[in-house]
Structure 1
Amino acid sequence: MAEPLDGAMQWVSVLSTRPSLEGAVDEAVAQAQAALQDSADLALVFISSAFASELPRLMPLLKERLPQTVMVGCTGGGIVGLLDDGTVREVEDAPALGLTLAHLPGVNVQPFHVIGDELPDMDGPPQQWAEVIGVDPASEPCFILLSDAMSSRINDLLQGLDYAYPGAVKVGGLATGSSMFGSGLFCNFELHREGTVGIALSGRVVLEAIVAQGCRPIGKPYRVVEGERNVMLKLEEQDADLTMRSPLEALQELYQDLNDMDQELAQNSLFVGIAQNEFKQDLEQGDFLIRNMLGVDPRVGAIAIGDRVRPGQRIQFHLRDASASEDDLKMLLQRYCSQHVGHSSPAGALMFACLGRGEGLYGLPNFDSTLFREQIAQIPLSGFFCGGEIGPVGNATFLHGYTSVFGICREP
């Protein structure tokens, strides 16, 4: 490996598939330290739920080998990382430990652990949220968040962080574990079973997000005319005759125009996208927050979805399958590359993928991670398969499903 420029950001990601905990830790740390050409300021550790019963032993093993390094991590349903030959691998349903070490000159690395029950009141001032996290909003931080699904109050946390740190990129995922031992969160070599652990990065660092929700739009956008909580009651077609109709009527009309393959797909893989930019006229793929359809009331033609709706919002129906997921991710990666010509090269990246993706979706292993490295660069990549993925759409941060979120780290 060529000698890096003095003071340059460095990332190293390794993956061990050894079945013993000590063997996996020894192999991962040795390979990562040998590859990193300077001191490690940050360690990110992702470990498969196959090791769930051994997590209390993991912390002292890591602390002994990485004593001066800020560390966060969690358990996952699958682990993403690089083998010693440099190839990327997504290990699903087998023991694996992924380790990323990063040398971050000029970057302030602030770890934190917050409990859901201790979050500030949603009506309080933003300064209360900054005090909980321990980071001044004036430092313009970016965040990596790893949460427990049951105890983190993750939606409140994301809303509060967006309130206190507007414009800050936030990526991450919900840890997954075994049915017997649950999930584990790690912060500075302490094991936590609830809340959220995270890292705030500020200074000479840029964190950018790619959020691939795996859907393609069908039909035309509609504007919500009437809605109550998470139920759409009346829609009107955007840029048309403004005739109101029930959401079910709009869906039935759309269904008739679909080809046979899409009609079959719509039986089980139909979603609703909510536009996140109220002012953008020509909506395109990636402009929508994708949410599940929860149910239909045929008496009034209403459709319930997995998020709140309000009059004036624009929605569009979407379909999801392996082909749509591939096309969506490829389009977003190519868009990222075209928008970053002349920017500094990425130093490393993190991948937070839904348990519903991977080989079960594509029928092939290592799909999303391989596509990422083909399109972006052969940079260090690590991450895990989540029970929910955290990433921005528009100017707000959301918890997603069936999504792959990539956090790309580089110097300004």
Structure 2
Amino acid sequence: MKRFPQAHATHPQWRMAAAMVVAQLRAQMALPDHASQPSLGLLYITDHYAGEAEALLEWMSAELPEVTDWAGTVGVGVSASNVEYFDEPALSVMLCDLSPDQYRVFSGVAPLSASGRADGGEGFVAHTALVHADAGTPEVGELIAEMAERTGSGYLFGGLAGSRGPTLQFALGSAGTLSGHGAASGVFHGGLSGVAFGRGVGIVSRVTQGAQPIAATHVVTESDGHLVVRLDGEPALDVLLRELEISLDHPEHAMRRLRHTLVGVTRPGPDGAPLAPSEASHRRGAFGHEVIVRHIIGLDPVRRGVAIAELAPEGSRLAFCERHVQAARADLMRVCAEVREELEPEELLFGAGAAEVEAAPRPARSIAGAVYVSCAGRGGPHFGGPSAELQIVRHALGDVPLVGFFAGGEIAHHRLYGYTGVLTVFVREG
């Protein structure tokens, strides 16, 4: 596996932007340390190009005939190494140097089966998957969890398409489609699509949260659907008002405070017992990947309950929280550091002398490419300025090829998150 070629461009006319991207990719493919014959392309566009998506994919496929498979989606913004494009016409592309027998593009016309095999992919079994989904798809959260069960590791990464107009996904695979489903242009609306990867494709992935708890975490002791009635046996609304130091007798002040307040929910474990926060997240006073952040959608003064945009069954843990710029920056730097640490070679001779350790073979692992999916509400000013979020990633990981988009919801593990970033790197072994 060689370094993945990656390019990005902005222009009012998609053909000009695409031509600039192809020129950059061709120049990199001629370099000795970059892949010269990559077969999988990841394509992300801003919603300015959504109306021309089919023409754009067709043009890119013709200009890069060696790339036989494509996947991607639309976002309100797209990202590349050290830069993000918001509210402007742009595209970001990365060409992945992966063995064709180690990945499969899947979609509605080429689904991933319950056994983890894609149509036309005899002998291929999915281990992980990059997933793009449409937020308007009914029960999309359940479909994501079901998709995770079709992989050997149960791990997904990706996000929901984000657009101020129609949403779409790119999924064009060389393995074919299901018989009877007709021809496909490679551009889909609704449902799920993406790329499944075999066990031979090494990835390291982390979730970074963008919210910080205001006070202690509570156990949900009574709930009714989306309405949390009691926390630790106390009316949930009373807990919320006390922790925010507000009163419904002063509605204007209370509403200003409530607009900036979210909830972090951790579902109970398989045995119904509350899941304790991870040790690392507890130490730093922040949320771990087990927490899902959602909106407060209403208050019930009669039942003294708090309605949230998530089901919180009894036994769940819940903490009121708020978006916090410094916490988001620190957590992003933390996950980047964890990725780097996982790539560091381990000492192979425990207790050996310095000379023996120096002589021991060490695996040279590096990053061939990266995908970063961030919440549409995180980019730009939330981190202090344009492209600040991507600059943090580059400062921590170095100048690595990176593509991504700003989503309407982020996918990691088997869950759908909000206000998070999902960083995934492809590992290149020495």
TM-score (norm 2): 0.78
Q: Match for residue 28 of structure 2?
A: 35
Post-superposition offset of 1:385: 1.6
**How high is the sequence identity, in percent, across the aligned residues?**
24
Aligned counterpart for 2:108 among listed residues 91, 110, 114: 114
* Aligned counterpart in structure 1 of residue 415 of structure 2, from 394, 398, 401: 398
Task: List per-residue Cα deviations over 1:98-155 (Å, max 9, x = no partner).
Answer: 110111248612001128xx99xxxxxx964746777789835211112222237421
Aligned residues of 1:209 and 1:407 also touching (Cα < 8 A): yes
> Displacement, 1:379?
0.9
In the alignment, the residues of structure 2 paired with residue 42 and residue 144 of structure 1 have an alpha-carbon distance, to the nearest angstrom, of: 12
Which residue matches 1:247? 236
Give unpaired runs (5+ residues) of structure 2: 173-184, 247-253, 347-364
**Corresponding residue to 1:68 among 66, 69, 83:** 66
8 Å CA contact 2:118, 2:124 repeated in 1 = no
Q: Compared with structure 1, are the counterparts of its residues 174 and 129 closer, same or farther at alpha carbon in structure 2 (3 Å cutoff)?
A: farther
Which one of 292, 295, 320 corresponds to residue 292 of structure 1? 295
Alignment of 1:18-29 (within 5 A): 18-29=11-22
The residue aligned with 2:311 is 308
Check conservation: 2:158, 2:373, Cα contact below 8 A: yes
CA contact (8 A) 2:128 2:154 kept: yes
Local SS of the residue matching 1:160: helix
Distance in 2, matches of 1:160 and 1:136, equals: 21
Question: Structure 1 232/212 Cα, relative in aligned 2: closer, same or farther at 3 Å?
Answer: same
Q: Residue type of the partner of 2:17?
A: A
Q: 2:55 aligns with which of 57, 71, 74?
A: 57
Kindly report which structure 2 residues correspond to 1:5-16, keeping only aligned pairs within 5 A, or say none.
8-16=1-9
| Pairs within 5 Å for 1:11-410 | 11-36=4-29, 37=34, 38-69=36-67, 70-82=69-81, 88-105=82-99, 108-114=102-108, 128=114, 130=116, 139-151=125-137, 153-165=139-151, 167-179=153-165, 182-188=166-172, 190-236=186-232, 244-256=233-245, 266-275=257-266, 278-280=274-276, 282=279, 284=282, 285-287=286-288, 288-342=291-345, 344-392=365-413, 397-410=414-427
Give 3-state SS (helix, strand or coil) of 1:323's partner: helix
Moved more, 306-315 or 246-255: 246-255
CA distance in 1, matches of 2:303, 2:200: 55
Q: Distance in 1 between matches of 2:407 and 2:167?
A: 11
Measure how far apart 1:338 and its partner are: 4.1
2:422 alignment partner, SS class: strand
Q: Which has the larger strand fraction?
A: 1
Q: Give the Å deviation of 1:364.
A: 0.5
> Do the aligned partners of 1:216 and 1:318 also contact (CA within 8 Å) in 2?
yes
The gaps in structure 1 that reach 5 residues or longer are 1-7, 83-87, 120-125, 237-243, 258-262
Q: Is the 8 A contact 2:102 2:201 kept in 1?
A: no
Distance 1:55 1:106, change over 3 A: closer
Note if contact 1:229-1:308 (Cα within 8 Å) is conserved in structure 2.
Answer: yes
Return closer, same or farther for 1:204/1:230 CA change in 2, 3 Å cut-off.
same
Using the alignment, how far apart are the partners of 1:53 and 1:17 within structure 2? 16
The amino acid across from 2:188 in the alignment is H
Decide whether the 8 Å contact of 1:9 with 1:105 is kept in 2.
no
8 A contact 1:41–1:109 mirrored in 2: no
Q: Note the C-alpha offset of 1:53.
A: 2.7
Q: CA deviation at 1:254?
A: 2.2
